[in-house]
Amino acid sequence: MAEPLHRRVVVKLSGEALSGPEEFGIHQATLDRIAADLVEAARLGVELAVVVGGGNIFRGVEVSARGVDRPTGDAMGMLATVMNGLAVEAALARAGANARTLSAIVMPQVCESYSRQAARDHLAKGRVVVLAGGTGNPFFTTDTTAVLRAAELGCQAVLKATNVDGVYTSDPKLDPKAERYERLTHREAIERNLKVMDATAFALARENRMPIIVFSVEEAGAIKAVLAGEGRATTVCD
pLDDT, residue 230, reads 86
Instruction: State in words which class domain 8-236 has.
Output: alpha beta
> What whole-number distance in Å separates Cα of residue 65 and Cα of residue 154?
37
Give the burial class of 124: count Cβ atoms within 10 A of its Cβ; 0-12 exposed, 13-18 middle, 19 or more buried. exposed
Give the burial class of 108: count Cβ atoms within 10 A of its Cβ; 0-12 exposed, 13-18 middle, 19 or more buried. exposed
Tens-digit pLDDT string for the chain (238 aa): 568 899 999 999 999 999 999 989 999 999 999 999 999 999 999 999 999 999 999 876 667 667 788 899 899 999 999 999 999 999 999 999 999 999 999 999 999 999 999 999 999 999 999 999 999 999 999 999 999 999 999 999 999 999 889 999 888 888 989 999 999 999 999 999 887 888 999 999 999 999 999 999 998 999 999 998 888 999 999 8
The secondary structure of residue 172, as a DSSP letter, is: T
Task: Catalogue the E-assigned strands of the chain.
Answer: 8-13, 47-52, 99-103, 112-113, 128-132, 157-162, 167-168, 180-181, 183-184, 212-216, 233-236
Q: Which residues contact 184 (CB under 8 A, 6 or more apart)?
A: 167, 194, 234, 235, 236, 237
How many residues in the chain?
238
Give the domain ranges of the chain.
Answer: 8-236
- 193: Cα within 13 Å, side-chain hemisphere: 0
Measure CA 67 to chain center: 29
Which residue from 201, 227, 71, 223 is spatially nearest to 144, judged by alpha carbons? 201
Residue 159: strand, helix, or coil: strand
> What whole-number distance in Å separates Cα of residue 162 and Cα of residue 159?
10
Which residue from 5, 39, 42 is spatially nearest to 233, judged by alpha carbons? 5
Question: Over the Cα atoms of the chain, what is R_g?
Answer: 17
> What whole-number distance in Å separates Cα of residue 234 and Cα of residue 214?
5
